[in-house]
Structure 1
């Protein structure tokens, strides 16, 4: 039995080491990354629209070329800061996303999913932003070919009935008047192809959130407002700002701003179920009023802070 265990450990070690990038591969990819960085910066920061789109085209071709290197999945591209790179918690894939600004009223997102493969070969799913052609982007399960674009900044993995669900947190500058943040549940079909969205969000209808059913959750708000959409590990909750209209026009998303309260989603039975109020305040009794935390105890001694 002991020899069998040692043998299995040796096999696991060999397979693990085989996935590591050797020195030659690392140097080749680092050189490629150095040549890509100027274009990665230009496609975001160049003042001319034509330069941004040209740099984007060069960057995409260069990225695909370097990803064709064996075991490229393990190369981090850490020096390219203008592209988001998030990994699935189980390391089964990673997603590259970024956006290009045509002008202040038009943004388009780009991206790709790179799968981790046993032999280190490239398995890549380009993401094609089709949000401009979607009258109701919250509806419908989508593939990588008709993706609702976003820059992904977070990912949460959940399991239900033996299936893995990856919830993506995304940002979209949208247009001149409003910003969007997205929750998108990513799954993979029997062919291991990505599917975006599905009936994974349950909440009571109101005047701000869209009518059910929806396949993805969108938080849209005023351009210069700051709205939170994050996952709290300690609470095991998705938390987002409760929005109100500053002009009492709830149908106009560009008037929505946070009011200091928070809503959330809790994973249960394979769905994100709405939590109407995340933080409940303790009501004051009659005759009580809010008081600061005292610095001294009843004997006049300093309290431990």
Structure 2
């Protein structure tokens, strides 16, 4: 009778379920060992010598990661030592996405990834992501995990609308020697399967109407830097307005920020375009701040910088001493 009462309490109490659904000590030890191997391989993917060396490390990384994730309740293990592997969670933690990039000696990139679902029984449910971006001629399309527009995800913004969860993914693609890209697209689940893209980027309130887009992509000059992310204070997606520095807008590798900003506001289940966010003019005699060029040797695959980041890095730091200075 006592056992039955304890079992009833365990099944009915969410807190106790949460405590129970974690790897046991033996599983944690296996996961730590796997993480050490994955950490070494991930460094070889990022900094290894030659295409063959980096590809071999990547080929070894994938089955090692899958074996680690097969451990029961592995979803609860953070793998936080994998500094060159992006691991992003939505607010509801129903899944997480692993993504990473493999750089070729010719300056082109290929991306890899997987979606791990947070299952109730702790068993592995995994969707591998196959990068098909080199073969997608029409980027304004809806795809699945087998035909994925590869990139490195750096944020997930979740929205709920009419009993459906919508996950906006923000990604970065180092692309090629001349340009790079930032991407925003919607992830939904249909019959338990991931769907990338959809008619969620609307231009219905623009002065010049455009068709609704399934995916939003900004391609720009390699040495430049731009923002594309969700701004919590403004409750909207904010991104740089781009112009061609050579007056050739069709050549994406010439596009740079003009220090103006556009955005998308969540309205009626869509991200609706806002043509201009800030309306303050730059004072006469004061030009727009010029971002520092990107130092490719110091690139951070986990933290693609925005113009604001570069300007902050370029600002001279005040000397510090033992005495505190009074703020005026």
TM-score w.r.t. structure 1 length?
0.86
**1:118 CA drift (Å):** 0.3
**1:205 CA drift (Å):** 11
- The answer to whether 1:149 aligns with 2:144 is no
CA distance in 2, matches of 1:260, 1:154: 23
Q: Are the structure 2 counterparts of residues 220 and 211 from structure 1 closer, same or farther at C-alpha, using a change threshold of 3 Å? A: farther
CA distance in 2, matches of 1:9, 1:233: 37
- The answer to whether 1:45 aligns with 2:44 is no
**1:84 CA drift (Å):** 0.2
**1:289 CA drift (Å):** 10
Q: Are the structure 2 counterparts of residues 33 and 7 from structure 1 closer, same or farther at C-alpha, using a change threshold of 3 Å? A: closer
Q: 5+ unaligned residues in a row in structure 2: which ranges?
A: 1-7, 287-326
Match of 1:117 among 116, 119, 127: 119
**1:283 CA drift (Å):** 10
Q: What root-mean-square deviation, in Å, do the aligned CA atoms of Structure 1 and Structure 2 show?
A: 2.5
Q: Which position in structure 1 is the counterpart of 2:257? A: 258
**1:12 CA drift (Å):** 1.8
Q: Are the structure 2 counterparts of residues 8 and 59 from structure 1 closer, same or farther at C-alpha, using a change threshold of 3 Å? A: closer
**1:8 CA drift (Å):** 8.5
Contact 1:171 1:182 survives alignment (8 Å): yes
CA distance in 2, matches of 1:289, 1:102: 44
Q: Are the structure 2 counterparts of residues 47 and 283 from structure 1 closer, same or farther at C-alpha, using a change threshold of 3 Å? A: closer
Provide the secondary structure at the position in 1 that maps to 2:234: coil
Which whole-Å deviations, capped at 9, do the CAs of 1:171-215 have from their partners, x for residues lacking one?
0011111100000100000x2110000000012799xxx963421
**1:14 CA drift (Å):** 2.5
**1:13 CA drift (Å):** 2.5
| Residues 180-199 of structure 1 aligned to structure 2 (within 5 Å) | 180-189=181-190, 191-199=191-199
Q: Which position in structure 2 is the counterpart of 1:178? A: 179
- The answer to whether 1:268 aligns with 2:267 is yes
Provide the secondary structure at the position in 2 that maps to 1:131: coil
Q: Are the structure 2 counterparts of residues 255 and 283 from structure 1 closer, same or farther at C-alpha, using a change threshold of 3 Å? A: closer
Q: Which position in structure 1 is the counterpart of 2:15? A: 13
Q: Which position in structure 2 is the counterpart of 1:300? A: none
Q: Which position in structure 1 is the counterpart of 2:297? A: none
CA distance in 2, matches of 1:115, 1:28: 20
Q: Which position in structure 2 is the counterpart of 1:230? A: 229
| Equivalenced residues, count | 280
Contact 1:205 1:212 survives alignment (8 Å): no
Q: Which position in structure 1 is the counterpart of 2:92? A: 90
TM-score w.r.t. structure 2 length?
0.80
Contact 2:205 2:273 survives alignment (8 Å): no
Provide the secondary structure at the position in 2 that maps to 1:78: coil
**1:216 CA drift (Å):** 0.4
> Which has the larger Rg?
1
Q: 5+ unaligned residues in a row in structure 1: which ranges?
A: 1-5, 291-303
Q: Which position in structure 1 is the counterpart of 2:316? A: none
Q: Once superposed, which parts of structure 1, at least 4 consecutive aligned residues long, lie more than 6 Å away?
A: none
**1:159 CA drift (Å):** 1.2
